[in-house]
Structure 1
């Protein structure tokens, strides 16, 4: 193991009469192989070791006057001490490298660069000494002009030509961590701003331009400028020129689907969160107002609204399996109820929804211009989404119906009737005989059939019936009993019966019968009478068969 330094500094190539460049290279002093040289690998390895030491030169330190106590193989140092000691004795001014347990020296040449790891600085060798590039740059001050990649001029005394420029906080010395670029003008009537150019033609100006307000001006040609926005120095308020749609206000951190065509304003929330538009108001009856204005014609030539034209609309869209619906699935619409003039401007409000299992919305509710409320008629009862308290207009039954939680029940235009007979009905003795009520004074829902002399239930429900019958004698016959009952579907209903016994008085003795029956759709109800002991009549005058749906 060698224990002393090895000086590999290049020697004079003409020494001892040698031909220049005969044994070493002119720049790094690398040894060259000679013709028919023995042990060529030694010379070759020396050249590789020198390259390993000098190429991409990075030294650990330059301020040591003696070797470190525990160096690692390949460590490199600059020996700048005048009288280094130990294994560095005689290597002053050289680059030393730890190699095979010994320090090997290399004589630097003018222009060589070395990076000092402990200082994070780049040093250059002048031929006599090593100089810090950082120190050289920090010493530059009070320059009349400075150009980086380009030439400055009398106006642009500092000029930079570069793909990019970076200003960062000072992390070399303790500081605030802040960074500021200050543009200081002489007075508020002057400009302090950034100029953005294309081919040296100005396209935008940003800054305090002729006032203390901050503004942005843009230009298509460098000659005419439009103000895009101004931030007032006095109030802090922002003034904007007309905004090109759509205006996006989003709490979502990522990309969003495209807005529908003709969107002017879009407000979006983060995933899982609603988007809220809040209108605050103080000391007023309502906290905020959303206003719609509509006209026919064009913006340049507005015209009166036509009947049915939309004044404004709140529309709801949703996403199916493959995308958003192309049209609204729920709407609150404000509509003109007549062709407008300056004296006639009727309106109506309509709600549109989309039935389950379909994709087309339809008007289901409206508040009309005359103050009436309208439900869209349905030909059949809704069969989905049923819940207690729902109401719909049944166009088939011409009635309002509500859901009891179990079924639909009528709440208007109940089936009812009042019927009479226009002849005295003969009733044989001892036989239950139907009274032939054959005319109706009223017959809502067509519930009474005059041709079959009976009531037919138009829908399931509870029905009440009232019957009045007057006895008329058949000559001198004198029945001993006069009875009446109702039949359901051809048989005695068993829900009420009336009778009169003893001496029956012609034209005076009457029966009054009331009954309540739960009927299914199509069930029939008829009035039957029986005389005991003799025949007789049910007088046409004052006899009545009436009924109505109770629920």
Structure 2
């Protein structure tokens, strides 16, 4: 018969043993020490200085000293002034008080029980920091939770959390709540499409985002502007009021909005739609209403301008009906040195092009190829690279005289052309019988004069020349000599003169040998601006 118990090694009473109480008390003391085992520490290499009777320790160091010498790996207790050791058996549990951890003896060493747990299978409920229930069979109460990749096995370095539902019509989702009232759902909800749903009260839900499982395309609900798409990592200035979409590029680079079109007649299409009234009750556009516009803003010395400085606008030209919807395209710019936008060019609803009329030639920023409408000259002008030149409504005229002009012999006399038959630009002054150049340009002039005799006088020559600014122009002169035939002899003269603005041109004639007349019939004076 054994002297001790198999598991705890407690002393047994022998038959006819004397002083049985000693053995019995020793067994009770061992039970008191080893049952519900709770040790104060497990990392000491020597006994504490002032132990209390009944104190217990795990001696885990390989070579303890003092009264613990030779007790490595054992459970020691302080009893009746001495340290008593007990050799642990595999499977013994000991709660270590200073660590608040439970240790198990593996047969060779004491190991943390928590560390020895490698698998928990088929648990019906698990609550961490809170109680799980029949619906929430896994429950966690914590300020944070961490799921990380497996760096012990090691694993692949990936981390995946899987939500698996029974069928497409079921839900697999993450639910976000406030006070246990749902405010957002994120997952496959009632289909295999991935969706985001939000709620203000846990009852009514809105769906701002859906990703189609069949096509991979996104469906967006209404977006509260501004929607910002930016390649710029820095802070952006404040948006204009009522901005809906904002696109910005990185510093120094363009922001591009690209419309691709493929196939026959499928270009990118930027569409404006406008109506009077409200979104709920639209009404017809009225004359002058803006249908849509592109506007350019920029930064001045200290801030962005409060209004557009260049603009392309689309404007209604009538009160719209279902069958009458006239519109024009308007270009607006800001003059140099100013800060107010003005309309400078438009494509009208009747197909015409309209330029903003200006009273005088522009003096800032001119260059070859520019075009504008001069309201003073009532003409179009373009810039040659050095000056403004007229390209329409040139000055031209045709004049005649209403009476036979008497010309004394040997005297240069002005022919008094006093009737304007045609006078574009009003450059011919009938009262002074002269042409006045409206602007610097090249002009061509023609005159035709018919001889009329004075009684029996017989001049021997008829001469004609143009006078510029009261003196012979020196650019052409014509004459008829010999016997001048009354009403038959005629003389023609043409010339081209480079005139400055305000220069005058007149016709002068002279008879030799006798006086005579310039006949009113068939005599003329005409001219035209050439360039």
Superposition deviation, residue 92 in structure 1? 4.9
Query: Does structure 2 conserve the Cα–Cα contact (< 8 Å) formed by 1:462 and 1:519?
Result: yes
CA-to-aligned-CA distance 1:349-368 (integer Å, 9 cap, x gap): 11112222222211111111
Query: Does structure 2 conserve the Cα–Cα contact (< 8 Å) formed by 1:399 and 1:411?
Result: yes
Query: Does structure 2 conserve the Cα–Cα contact (< 8 Å) formed by 1:415 and 1:548?
Result: yes
For the residues of structure 2 that align with 1:468 and 1:132, how far apart are their CA atoms?
A: 130
For the residues of structure 2 that align with 1:146 and 1:402, how far apart are their CA atoms?
A: 88
For the residues of structure 2 that align with 1:270 and 1:7, how far apart are their CA atoms?
A: 66
For the residues of structure 2 that align with 1:536 and 1:90, how far apart are their CA atoms?
A: 162
Query: Does structure 2 conserve the Cα–Cα contact (< 8 Å) formed by 1:311 and 1:335?
Result: yes
For the residues of structure 1 that align with 2:228 and 2:51, how far apart are their CA atoms?
A: 76
CA-to-aligned-CA distance 1:73-126 (integer Å, 9 cap, x gap): xxxxx99464589xx9879579xxxxxxxxxxxxxx94345xxxxxxxx99889
Do the aligned partners of residues 469 and 82 (structure 1) sit closer, same or farther apart at CA in structure 2, a change above 3 Å counting?
Answer: same
For the residues of structure 2 that align with 1:14 and 1:420, how far apart are their CA atoms?
A: 145
Q: Please list, as runs of the form range in 1=range in 2, the aligned pairs for 1:46-57 lying within 5 A after superposition.
A: none
For the residues of structure 2 that align with 1:431 and 1:137, how far apart are their CA atoms?
A: 137
Superposition deviation, residue 239 in structure 1? 2.2
CA-to-aligned-CA distance 1:445-491 (integer Å, 9 cap, x gap): 11111121111100000000001111111212212211111111111
For the residues of structure 1 that align with 2:442 and 2:165, how far apart are their CA atoms?
A: 93
For the residues of structure 1 that align with 2:433 and 2:56, how far apart are their CA atoms?
A: 132
Q: Which among 97, 100, 111 is matched to residue 97 of structure 2?
A: 111
Do the aligned partners of residues 310 and 111 (structure 1) sit closer, same or farther apart at CA in structure 2, a change above 3 Å counting?
Answer: same
Q: Which among 302, 315, 325 is matched to residue 295 of structure 2?
A: 315
CA-to-aligned-CA distance 1:116-151 (integer Å, 9 cap, x gap): xxxxxx998899975347624545555443333333
Query: Does structure 1 conserve the Cα–Cα contact (< 8 Å) formed by 2:333 and 2:342?
Result: yes
For the residues of structure 1 that align with 2:165 and 2:237, how far apart are their CA atoms?
A: 45
Which residue in the other structure is 1:343 paired with? 323
For the residues of structure 1 that align with 2:455 and 2:490, how far apart are their CA atoms?
A: 18
Q: Please list, as runs of the form range in 1=range in 2, the aligned pairs for 1:300-379 lying within 5 A after superposition.
A: 300-379=280-359
Q: 2:372 matched to 1:392? A: yes
For the residues of structure 1 that align with 2:468 and 2:244, how far apart are their CA atoms?
A: 67
Query: Does structure 2 conserve the Cα–Cα contact (< 8 Å) formed by 1:7 and 1:91?
Result: no
Q: 2:431 matched to 1:451? A: yes
Query: Does structure 1 conserve the Cα–Cα contact (< 8 Å) formed by 2:45 and 2:61?
Result: no
- What SS is found at the alignment partner of 1:365? strand
Query: Does structure 2 conserve the Cα–Cα contact (< 8 Å) formed by 1:124 and 1:132?
Result: yes
- What SS is found at the alignment partner of 1:451? helix
Query: Does structure 1 conserve the Cα–Cα contact (< 8 Å) formed by 2:332 and 2:345?
Result: yes
Q: How many residues align?
A: 463
Query: Does structure 2 conserve the Cα–Cα contact (< 8 Å) formed by 1:112 and 1:124?
Result: no
Q: 2:223 matched to 1:238? A: no
Q: 2:240 matched to 1:260? A: yes
Q: Which among 41, 46, 49 is matched to residue 11 of structure 1?
A: 49
List alignment gaps of at least 5 residues for structure 2. 1-43, 75-94
Superposition deviation, residue 386 in structure 1? 1.6
For the residues of structure 2 that align with 1:134 and 1:277, how far apart are their CA atoms?
A: 59
Q: 2:389 matched to 1:409? A: yes
Superposition deviation, residue 385 in structure 1? 2.2
Q: 2:234 matched to 1:248? A: no
For the residues of structure 1 that align with 2:523 and 2:52, how far apart are their CA atoms?
A: 154
Query: Does structure 2 conserve the Cα–Cα contact (< 8 Å) formed by 1:123 and 1:131?
Result: no
Which residue in the other structure is 1:49 paired with? none
Superposition deviation, residue 295 in structure 1? 1.7
- What SS is found at the alignment partner of 1:228? strand
- What SS is found at the alignment partner of 2:422? strand
Q: Please list, as runs of the form range in 1=range in 2, the aligned pairs for 1:139-538 lying within 5 A after superposition.
A: 142-538=122-518
Query: Does structure 2 conserve the Cα–Cα contact (< 8 Å) formed by 1:112 and 1:125?
Result: no
Query: Does structure 2 conserve the Cα–Cα contact (< 8 Å) formed by 1:123 and 1:130?
Result: no
- What SS is found at the alignment partner of 1:294? coil
Do the aligned partners of residues 12 and 389 (structure 1) sit closer, same or farther apart at CA in structure 2, a change above 3 Å counting?
Answer: closer
For the residues of structure 2 that align with 1:356 and 1:164, how far apart are their CA atoms?
A: 62
For the residues of structure 1 that align with 2:419 and 2:182, how far apart are their CA atoms?
A: 97
Superposition deviation, residue 167 in structure 1? 1.4
TM-score (norm 2): 0.80
TM-score (norm 1): 0.77
For the residues of structure 1 that align with 2:120 and 2:281, how far apart are their CA atoms?
A: 68
